Structure 1
Amino acid sequence: MSPPHALERVRAIDWLRGLAVLLMIQCHAFVLLRPELRTSPAARELLRVDGVVAPAFLFSAGFALALLLVRSTASGKRGERLGRNLRRILQVLGAATLVNWMWFPLFREPRWLVRLDILHCVGLSLLLLLGVGAGLASRPRVLRGVTLALAFITFFLSPLGEAVSGPWAFLLNKSTGAVFPLLPWLGFAWLGAYAGAVTGEQGRSGLVRALLLLIGLGLAGSYAAEPLKALYPDHHFYVTNPSNAAERWLWVCIALLVLVALESRLGSESAPSRVRRFVESFGSSSLSAYVIHLGLLYFHVFGFSFEVVWGNRCGWGLYALLTGLLILLTYALCQGLDLVRDLPPRRLLSRATREGREQEFARPR
């Protein structure tokens, strides 16, 4: 018999992912601002907040994967879950290729296929997590110890990874044009897997304890900036230094802890508000939202895109208005896509067949 917490849904992680999607859209909409405003103090403060978006996505992805693996193994459905997770990871990598196709001439310059952006990083991180989690999901305590250790190994090796050259450089650093190489970003997925494994074994109370531990470690790491900087050769401190990573996961875990407390206060039986449904919809459709909002921003449809019409032209007021419009359009298209996806294929087929017969009978002989 599974423990009562085994079926608890952690909506706070959906909210975290949904809020990260909203911040991501706001961040990418910076291309609409006039260039001088993008370097203003207000823009710099916004970018500091946006710096936790990618860690939040990776943490959430690792959390969900580990949680589902632990729960499915406990209920005897590990094989089914592994297949579903693998298909989902392949969808992420497929969407990553689609986005690169939108931006780069892949057929003329195939090297852009291996340019790592956030979706590639998420997909590859989940593949690595799946390999580890599949073997250790039946032993959650071992899984959480291994994932926590791998997170810190990843972060502490990241400054050294800047010196890697050759084929491995495509995966491990920015020297080949990667936006989100595995170092240091893979570490956030390992941290999420640690929290997910704890939650799968101990429930919500275990999640709170895991987050408090990570917050404490994040505080310690952020205050150790100077010794950690001196520990390595010259490197990009604000990208690969463990202290910088610690500050990022600190804020992600604080945000998630607040959301867990909010979820407990609202209760699982309370009717969701419109705001909650709005945020949750982005959390459950984050992949679709990523592709759709980039398409609206950059992809030319009959010569129109947000970037073509308003790029580099907006003050703060128009930027805020257009960002809100971009969010609403992304939301509407995600909802429409979900409606189409939820239609049973058999119903679509029967409807098409019925309409075809009606047209055939109505055709004059």
Structure 2
Amino acid sequence: MTNSSKRLFFIDAIRAWAILMMLQGHFIDGLLDTAFRDDSNVGYSIWKYFRGITAPVFFTVSGFIFTFLLVKGKDGQGFNNPRVKKGIKRGLELLFIGYLLRTNFMGLLNGQIYPSFYIVDVLHCIGLSLLGIIGIYLLTYRKRNLVFGLTLSAIAIVLFLFEPLYKQWGFSFLPQAFANYVTKANGSVFTIIPWFGYAALGASISLIFNKLRDRNYFFPLTIASLLAIGFALIKLSSPFFLSISEATGIKLFSDIFYNNYLFIRLGDVFVVFAIFMVLERLLQNRTLLKIGQSTLSIYVVHFIILYGSFTGLGLYRFFHHSLNPYVAIPGAIAFMYISTYTALKYEDHKEEIKTQIAKGTEFTMKQIEFAAIYSYNTIKPRIIRLLRRFGLAKN
């Protein structure tokens, strides 16, 4: 890739890798028998570590690609930027799909909304993160991208630093549907705090790429910087916070030391970025890039198959924590292939499918309208006769 290339192919490759990692991670985590979850097993511990990288990478890349496109255009600033309206629409769409996937139609037919409907997951948080990035952009765009980037980075660092404090808050004063966005007490898988931090940092990094990527030696210097910062965060951030705690006596820093997953995972993200930038020329496979551009469809398909959206009849219901590794591993590979293949086929025929759905919806509405008119014309004479009998209508 030349520095002047309009598309950053390594970002699509990272997205493809992250979504595939997520597919196998959800499958193994949900279906592998607990008897085989042994942290002393080298294979399992390696898998567990890499599974933990997936979500931070996914959030960071989402913030990166959205903000890169948001500030790249020259069509306008603020609300005049067409990416703002598209971003708001996309954010709301992700929130809607997130709730839709947790809807059980059988329960709705019985007049019930199950508590799982209100659980917040990755789509909710990414959707809300996009809206948050747009909000910060609208507040700072008049002061140039430097203020935008510094604000995003500052918010991320604050969220990461104070996570030991706010993770203990119950937020019981909020309705559960809203509390689920900020606490895992009710079963939420992700919460907007601290996960917005990764999206915000991805957004701030994209501003650097947007401004400097055409400069000579930008990519080699960026790769070296990402590797240096990444390994420093992985290896040195915990001792750093411990030393601050010992020097100041502030308990917050020791709490970070004992559960320093946010900064270590950020280091992992930087290393992943650097590796994919190095390998970019080898990763420009058409199918791989298409997977990276179809992550939402893949996510939706995998959620339906694994968790049984709409019906509750998914693999999770029948094989939850029941498979041994000899079944789970090939099963995960098959699951990745089926989910990805189905989603890509949908992408190939998306416009046709949408057209057919629109036609089907229009036909259904016409049938309902016809039935309503027919019913009204059928019942109308009877109503008039009844009203005449009681003297409520003229002959």
TM-score, shorter chain, exceeding 0.5: yes
1:300–1:100: structure 2 CA closer, same or farther, 3 Å change rule?
closer
The answer to whether the 8 Å contact 1:198/1:210 transfers is no
The answer to whether the 8 Å contact 2:53/2:268 transfers is yes
What's 1:232 paired with? 251
1:332–1:134: structure 2 CA closer, same or farther, 3 Å change rule?
same
| CA deviation map 1:104-153 (0-9, x unaligned) | 96863565444221111111111111111244456222222222222211
The answer to whether the 8 Å contact 1:66/1:197 transfers is yes
Matched, 1:150 2:126: no
- Aligned residue type for 2:295: S
Matched, 1:182 2:192: yes
| 1:28-47 equivalences in 2 (<5 Å) | 28-30=26-28, 31-39=30-38, 41=41, 42-47=43-48
| CA deviation map 1:312-359 (0-9, x unaligned) | 443323222211111111122112211232339779999xxxxxxxxx
Matched, 1:298 2:307: yes
- Aligned residue type for 2:51: D
Q: Distance in 1 between matches of 2:48 and 2:149?
A: 32
The answer to whether the 8 Å contact 2:307/2:315 transfers is yes
Deviation of 1:253 after TM superposition, in Å, equals 1.5
Residue number among 324, 333, 344 corresponding to 1:335 in the alignment: 344
Deviation of 1:300 after TM superposition, in Å, equals 8.0
User: TM-score under structure 1 normalisation?
Assistant: 0.79
Residue number among 323, 329, 345 corresponding to 1:320 in the alignment: 329
Matched, 1:123 2:103: no
The answer to whether the 8 Å contact 1:208/1:257 transfers is no
- Aligned residue type for 1:79: N
Aligned length: 339
**Percentage identity across aligned positions?**
23
Q: Which runs of 5+ in 1 are unaligned?
A: 351-365
What's 1:88 paired with? 90
- Aligned residue type for 1:115: I
Segment drifting more, 204-213 vs 123-132: 204-213
Q: Distance in 1 between matches of 2:137 and 2:221?
A: 21
- Aligned residue type for 1:122: I
1:114–1:226: structure 2 CA closer, same or farther, 3 Å change rule?
farther
Segment drifting more, 227-236 vs 174-183: 227-236
RMSD: 3.6
Q: Distance in 2 between matches of 1:32 and 1:51?
A: 17
User: TM-score under structure 2 normalisation?
Assistant: 0.74
| CA deviation map 1:264-297 (0-9, x unaligned) | x459xxxx5xxx2332222111111112112112
Q: Which runs of 5+ in 2 are unaligned?
A: 360-395
Deviation of 1:172 after TM superposition, in Å, equals 2.6
- Aligned residue type for 1:66: T
- Aligned residue type for 1:8: K
Q: Distance in 2 between matches of 1:181 and 1:13?
A: 24
Q: Secondary structure at the match of 1:39?
A: coil
Matched, 1:252 2:269: yes
Larger Rg: 2
